[in-house]
Chain A
């Protein structure tokens, strides 16, 4: 039984696991041979800088006119301790000693399962930016995309009854030349956004020098979200 719990924990934390294993060479970010004239918007989440204040969530809610308390992204709090065992730092079984957070949101897959399963084309790639977004007027509310997304990153907006996902604030901010609301809001520079196909962009330079990983690479979805994980040094 304990083996099963362990396995489930491992699977649940598979995102975290890839964060830790990534820099050791398991999931290097490979260069894609894509059309370099088109933008490829990426977002980098730096786990070393995020303090878990959650202001990005509130900014998302306001920017995208979402129902109260809802946002297109979540912060997952990951404790470094092992369930059922005392924390090595404080000795308690449940604690918040290690403040490690992971952004949970649409990974902006290049091969997006939500787009290929959507029967109406409501979930689609914006032709100009390549960003996976919604045409709310076409969505039938069948929830196929919600089951198909490997990251559980989609939800039904209770006010409009249609599916929704993080589209880097495509219509609410990017179209006005602004950065996504969460990126603007973050005081700790934990979120970096830009065009990876632009050689002069900050995000491009950052990715060139920093190790970063993608979530669940085994699905072949090629996400555009990159994570810079906390790496434990020493024992």
Chain B
């Protein structure tokens, strides 16, 4: 019995966690490949990732603001700070990260902007920013990983909920953010920016997918095991995996669609199909939907089983 009924943080927050994860994840992937391969040109993957990271984080902010009891109070989070609060520290990171994603978009779409006269006012800004491209990208890479982790730290501070209040949650959110971000940016780079589905970059991404997925599965197992073998409170929260609507979401959405989907599409089908565009998009959508289900599951099942 308590003074508040239902969950304190409903689905818009899950959507926000999802969008922030994709935003951070896609930038991490694109920038890591850029540095790893020492690229200086703007690749289709870079374009896709910077566009995705900017759009998703902007939409995520919208979710966050709309979930406030009164969206007009939003300015208060920006004006008052409390450094013991994960949310407050996250706001500071986002205040740097969001403009940075916009700057990366400017770098990425310089040619496109040049060809549209209405946007010519942006050109002097781009020229001004050009000398600091490298430091901007390094900062963006660090912040992108931090944003993924922050969404995990944000909710793992809720000590009343054993499923949420675990140390591995930020790691799980980084891993799932990166895998969904990679899926989103590779799909967009092929779809919009005419990247070759079998280009060397997408090959690297494709190869990295599986280790990341294994890491995700491992993190989920860690959480489940620590609950199953924990105290009475943890054990009751383990029910999230075995009974009720959230267990269905977990087994169908997270495990079935998110993990088994891509695995079956890639390994259980003939070579012609698994290399086709259909399989490429389907498995990408599976990875992204799986991540959304994971965020929903963690948030709702987590808040359902309170100590």
Give A contacts to B, CB under 8 Å.
4, 7-8, 10-11, 14, 72-74, 76, 104-105, 113, 116-122, 138-144, 146-156, 161-162, 165, 216, 219
Instruction: Please name all residues of chain A whose beta carbon is closer than 8 Å to the beta carbon of B77 when the two chains form the complex.
Output: 119-120, 140, 142
A162 x B80 contact (CB < 8 A): no
B9 x A147 contact (CB < 8 A): yes
Instruction: Please name all residues of chain A whose beta carbon is closer than 8 Å to the beta carbon of B80 when the two chains form the complex.
Output: 119-122, 138
Instruction: Please name all residues of chain A whose beta carbon is closer than 8 Å to the beta carbon of B277 when the two chains form the complex.
Output: none
Complex: A105 Cα to B85 Cα, angstroms: 23
Quick check: is B221 within 8 A (CB to CB) of the other chain?
no
Instruction: Please name all residues of chain A whose beta carbon is closer than 8 Å to the beta carbon of B70 when the two chains form the complex.
Output: 141, 161
Q: Which of A144, A149, A165 contacts B87 (CB 8 A)?
A: A144
A120 x B9 contact (CB < 8 A): no
Quick check: is B69 within 8 A (CB to CB) of the other chain?
yes
Q: Which of A73, A116, A154 contacts B84 (CB 8 A)?
A: A116
Complex: A74 Cα to B3 Cα, angstroms: 7
A147 x B303 contact (CB < 8 A): yes
How many chain B residues touch A (CB < 8 A): the figure is 39
Complex: A219 Cα to B232 Cα, angstroms: 14
Closest B residue, CB atoms, query A146: B8
Instruction: Please name all residues of chain A whose beta carbon is closer than 8 Å to the beta carbon of B159 when the two chains form the complex.
Output: 113, 148, 150, 219
Closest A residue, CB atoms, query B306: A152
Chain A nearest CB, measured from B243 CB (Å): 8
Closest B residue, CB atoms, query A78: B1
Instruction: Please name all residues of chain B whose beta carbon is closer than 8 Å to the beta carbon of A140 when the two chains form the complex.
Output: 68, 73-74, 76-77
Closest B residue, CB atoms, query A157: B69
Given contacts A11-B307, A118-B85, A122-B80, contact A147 B158 (CB under 8 A): yes
Residues of B contacting A: mostly: loop
Given contacts A119-B81, A120-B82, contact A139 B2 (CB under 8 A): no
Q: Which of A14, A104, A105, A161 contacts B73 (CB 8 A)?
A: A161
Complex: A73 Cα to B79 Cα, angstroms: 31
A119 x B88 contact (CB < 8 A): yes
Complex: A153 Cα to B8 Cα, angstroms: 12
Chain A nearest CB, measured from B20 CB (Å): 15
A147 x B239 contact (CB < 8 A): no
Task: Pull 19 A–B residue pairs with CB atoms less than 8 Å apart, ordered by A.
Answer: A74-B2, A104-B2, A116-B84, A117-B87, A119-B77, A119-B87, A120-B88, A121-B81, A122-B76, A122-B80, A138-B76, A140-B77, A143-B67, A144-B85, A146-B8, A147-B303, A152-B1, A154-B3, A155-B4
A117 x B157 contact (CB < 8 A): yes
Complex: A127 Cα to B73 Cα, angstroms: 25
List B1-60 residues whose CB lies under 8 Å from chain A: 1-4, 7-9
Q: Which of A143, A153, A162 contacts B9 (CB 8 A)?
A: A143
List B74-99 residues whose CB lies under 8 Å from chain A: 74, 76-77, 79-82, 84-88, 91
Given contacts A119-B88, A120-B80, A138-B76, contact A148 B4 (CB under 8 A): no
Quick check: is B233 within 8 A (CB to CB) of the other chain?
yes
Closest A residue, CB atoms, query B233: A11
Instruction: Please name all residues of chain A whose beta carbon is closer than 8 Å to the beta carbon of B84 when the two chains form the complex.
Output: 116-117
Chain B nearest CB, measured from A107 CB (Å): 12
Complex: A40 Cα to B70 Cα, angstroms: 34
Complex: A150 Cα to B306 Cα, angstroms: 9
A152 x B233 contact (CB < 8 A): no
Instruction: Please name all residues of chain A whose beta carbon is closer than 8 Å to the beta carbon of B226 when the two chains form the complex.
Output: none
Chain A nearest CB, measured from B53 CB (Å): 23
Chain B nearest CB, measured from A163 CB (Å): 8
Chain A nearest CB, measured from B151 CB (Å): 13
Q: Taking each of A73, A105, A141, which has the highest tally of chain B beta carbons within 10 Å of its own beta carbon?
A: A141
Instruction: Please name all residues of chain B whose beta carbon is closer than 8 Å to the beta carbon of A146 when the two chains form the complex.
Output: 4, 8
Complex: A104 Cα to B307 Cα, angstroms: 15
